[in-house]
Amino acid sequence: MNETDGAEGMVVEARGYVRLLRLARPEKLNALDRATSIRCRDFFRSAAEDPDVRVVIMTGSGDRAFCAGFDLSTVESGAFDQWDVSVGGLAKDVLFPKPVICAINGLAYGGGFELVLASDLRVAVPSASFALPEVRHGLIAGGGGTVRLPDQIPWAVASEMLLRSRVLHADEAMAFGLVNAVVAPPELMDTAWAWAEELAERSPQALRYTKESMWRSRGMDVINALELEERYSALVQHSDEAKRGVEAFVKRRRYRA
């Protein structure tokens, strides 16, 4: 594994077609200050265009937190007046076209939870917890929280989390389908890497348009959603990647993109 970026607040590591983005402010529970959020945004924008990146894993440093959201302590220095809720890359930018796996190593609150909500696959440790406490501070979960959360779990639970700042624990998140797996801490990164390396062997184009069809069709009526899916299907069906995949199936070979 090669470390490709050691900028303050985050570290990026590379293994083949997979990139691991590790938030690295453990003394602040990996909370995002403005500079770190901008670095995350720049990472995702660059990774979106890089053919050598097929899958991204996000996690946090230490064993207490994935990400505690926006670092409210920077308000004292005036950073809050300059804060742009569109900054952050994954939660508010244009749909990231590649699979994102969150390895949730502790609490995911506020913007940290919104990063999870914007991801595609999620694995968590038993001590992980999830919350959107913004209303307690006179704020709104404006990084996608009020939109994505009610779309991913039962409405009543989402309302309680958004309005009453209810904390959801890992076992509850698993029961509501908010995470894909809950594993012991020593298995967290092994699981995330196994999933990522499996996806990295698949057709980048098929992954991209499958993801886009899933995310963009949410909230559409069925007719429009099926028309969107058909357009994506046609794009993929006539590609060289699809031809190689079908040929591998017919010849009973394992397909690797």
| 12 DSSP β-pair partners | 5, 21
Range of 78-92, 134-148, 239-253 with top mean pLDDT: 134-148
CATH C-level class of 2-200: alpha beta
Give yes or no: 8 in active site: no
Give this prediction's pTM: 0.91
| 105 DSSP β-pair partners | none
Out of 3, 13, 114, 187, pick the active-site residue: 114
Out of 3, 8, 49, 134, pick the active-site residue: 134
Q: What is the distance between the alpha carbons of residues 159 and 150, in angstroms, rounded to a whole number?
A: 7
Q: Length of the chain in residues, anyone?
A: 257
pLDDT in tens, 166-199: 999 999 999 999 999 999 999 999 999 999 999 9
Q: What is the distance between the alpha carbons of residues 187 and 62, in angstroms, rounded to a whole number?
A: 15
Bigger pLDDT: 202 vs 74: 202
Q: What is the distance between the alpha carbons of residues 225 and 222, in angstroms, rounded to a whole number?
A: 5
Predicted pLDDT of residue 34: 84
Give yes or no: 134 in active site: yes
Q: Supply 253's token pair.
A: 């070979």
Q: What is the distance between the alpha carbons of residues 152 and 148, in angstroms, rounded to a whole number?
A: 6
Using left for φ > 0, alpha for ψ between -120 and 50, and beta otherwise, residue 87 falls in beta
Q: Give 237's pLDDT tier (boundaries 50, 70, 90).
A: confident
Q: Supply 238's token pair.
A: 């006539």
Q: Give 78's pLDDT tier (boundaries 50, 70, 90).
A: low
Q: Give 88's pLDDT tier (boundaries 50, 70, 90).
A: low
Summarize the confidence of residues 116-133 as an average pLDDT. Answer: 97
Average pLDDT, the chain: 89
CB 195 within 8 A of CB 123: yes
Predicted pLDDT of residue 249: 72
Q: What is the distance between the alpha carbons of residues 118 and 44, in angstroms, rounded to a whole number?
A: 12
Q: What is the distance between the alpha carbons of residues 46 and 61, in angstroms, rounded to a whole number?
A: 22
Q: Where are the domains of the chain?
A: 2-200, 204-250
